[in-house]
Chains A and B, each alone.
Chain A
Amino acid sequence: MINQQSPFIQKAASVTNIMLMVILALVPGLIFYVYFFGVGVLLNVFVASLTALIAEYFVLKMRKLPPKVYLSDGSALVAAWLLALSIPSIAPWWIIVVGTLFTIVIAKHFYGGLGSNIFNPAMIGYAVLLISFPAIMTKWPSPIENSLSIESIRQALQVFFYGLTQVGDGLTSATPLDYIKTELLQGQILPDITIRNFGLATILTSNQIISLAYLLGGIVLLHKKIISWHLPITYLLSLAFISGLFHLIDPNNYSTISFHLLNGGTMLCAFFIITDPVSGPTTPKGKIWFACMVAILVYVIRVFGGYPEGIAFAVIFMNICVPLIDNLTQPKVFGHG
């Protein structure tokens, strides 16, 4: 019992509410993902959530904290969902389990639990998987027709439990970012590169529609004031600015603004990953600096770096700078200065 002092009234806000709203905002993107790429992602999300809750339960018991209270705050679920949506949906089951365990136990609880983790847990999980299992983590699915048919569900289950080698290679194709990067490296210029067609939708369009669905979810979060505008808007504007700048300078070798904004995990990052409150900055100016630097780093890694997608590393790198950013961007106190 704590309320023996003022204030004696409280707003009905809670951590659980915030986390649940974030998960709900991810649902539109998830639906389109299933529509284009099959139910593999649902399996990943389900197993990730289960692993996260069980792992967190045991760690909380070890730390002698009340499990019911801390499990119901939903933060483990959000981290698990973000990880599951970041990895290829055709990855075998043990990938997501290892990743989730790393996320929850090491990236979150070893650093102190809720509110004390320095790094974004989902991004740590993703980075660990990417570096440890590069072959599996770079095989992305190609769009499927009739993703909800019994045939494709069976296929998804087979891939999930037995891995790709058993089933065959026809299910994979490169992501747009990956494809464009390799083509450019081989000396092609952009107008000459064509993307393979897959019937209803090309891989390009499917990714773009999923990104737009995440954007929709993000706008709902902004409207409900779960996240503030500083992080997502600045991130998108900075990325647009830098990609537009390079595209203007050399349109043959640098992709367009819409390509960078609607492909890869940009929208997911803008509204769900950099807005993680625990690992991000707390001051408004700090948020703007943080988002700007993440955008620049993401672009640099994408275009000049070794990986096709740079979000995880960019976010982890900027997480290290957060205490410094917070310290340097303290707002002016009423009446001072």
Chain B
Amino acid sequence: MLTSVLVVLFLALLIGSILGFSSIKFKVDGDPIIDKIDSILPQTQCGQCSYPGCKPYATAIAKGEADINQCPPGGEDGVRKLAELMGVEYKPLNEEHGAIKPKSIAVIDEDTCIGCTLCIQACPVDAILGSAKHMHTIIEKECTGCELCLPPCPVDCIDMIAIQESTENWKWKYPVFNIKNQKQRVSH
């Protein structure tokens, strides 16, 4: 009886010390979960999630204040990845925060632009080139399609143009074939 108690006590001490040692040696500094969430978000910085940018939204998800399905630019894929990371159930995108739109780029109609710099101040990634009373133009490569420049423009000269499929960005599609209407095999 005494030996069994001693053996169990010894095992408990051994395993406890291993756990304690590991918690000190393998401790992870900081809170990487916010960065992990942020790396899944598409960085459009559009604010459709009702937070002023992707990092604040990531912080809110980490704190549990926001739900994972508030980001339309991330799409269904983004929600699934967040669900997997946070260990919660997948839920479809919340319609209140906007619908999924095809990726677009903003284009300024140079004839109409008056050079007021209001859009430059609004762009979250500084993708608009220009200064007061000078022509403004959008750097195509840097534009994330967030549409934050559309409301401030007083002459409504900015349009969102969807990115066209071209030989440069064309992708192979997921193979789809009809299972239900298949016929029997034709012998060779």
Measuring CB to CB, which residues of chain A are less than 8 angstroms from any residue of chain B? 1-2, 5, 12, 14, 16, 64-66, 68-69, 72
For B133, list chain A residues within 8 Å (CB).
Answer: none
A87 to B184, CA, bound (A): 33
Q: Which among A1, A12, A65, A66 has the greatest number of chain B C-beta atoms within 10 A?
A: A66
**Cβ contacts B146-188/A at 8 Å (1 or 0 each):** 0000000000000000000000000000010101111111001
Look across to chain B and name the residue whose beta carbon is closest to the beta carbon of A14: B185
The answer to whether B179 and A66 touch across the interface, beta carbons within 8 angstroms, is yes
* Given A14-B185, A65-B179; 13 other pairs, CB 8 A cutoff: A1-B177, A2-B175, A2-B177, A12-B188, A64-B180, A66-B179, A66-B181, A68-B183, A68-B184, A69-B182, A69-B184, A72-B184, A72-B185
Given contacts A1-B177, A2-B175, A2-B177, contact A66 B182 (CB under 8 A): yes
User: B29-43: which residues lie under 8 A (CB-CB) from chain A?
Assistant: none
For A64, list chain B residues within 8 Å (CB).
Answer: 180
A291 to B37, CA, bound (A): 46
How far apart are B188's CB and chain A's nearest CB, in angstroms? 4
For A68, list chain B residues within 8 Å (CB).
Answer: 183-184
Q: Is the interface of A mostly helix, strand, loop or mixed?
A: loop
| Interface size of B as a range | 10 to 19
The answer to whether B183 and A69 touch across the interface, beta carbons within 8 angstroms, is yes
The answer to whether A66 and B185 touch across the interface, beta carbons within 8 angstroms, is no
A1 to B188, CA, bound (A): 17
How far apart are A289's CB and chain B's nearest CB, in angstroms? 33
How far apart are A17's CB and chain B's nearest CB, in angstroms? 9
User: B16-37: which residues lie under 8 A (CB-CB) from chain A?
Assistant: none
Q: Which among B180, B183, B185 has the greatest number of chain A C-beta atoms within 10 A?
A: B185
For B175, list chain A residues within 8 Å (CB).
Answer: 2, 5
How far apart are A323's CB and chain B's nearest CB, in angstroms? 21
How far apart are B138's CB and chain A's nearest CB, in angstroms? 38
Look across to chain B and name the residue whose beta carbon is closest to the beta carbon of A2: B177
The answer to whether B180 and A65 touch across the interface, beta carbons within 8 angstroms, is yes
A64 to B181, CA, bound (A): 11
List of 3 A-B pairs having minimum Cβ-Cβ separation, nearest first: A12-B188, A2-B177, A69-B182
A5 to B183, CA, bound (A): 20
Look across to chain B and name the residue whose beta carbon is closest to the beta carbon of A72: B184
For B185, list chain A residues within 8 Å (CB).
Answer: 14, 16, 69, 72
How far apart are B185's CB and chain A's nearest CB, in angstroms? 6
A72 to B183, CA, bound (A): 11
For A12, list chain B residues within 8 Å (CB).
Answer: 188
For B177, list chain A residues within 8 Å (CB).
Answer: 1-2
10 contacts between A and B (CB under 8 A): A2-B177, A64-B180, A65-B180, A66-B179, A66-B180, A66-B181, A66-B182, A69-B182, A69-B184, A72-B185
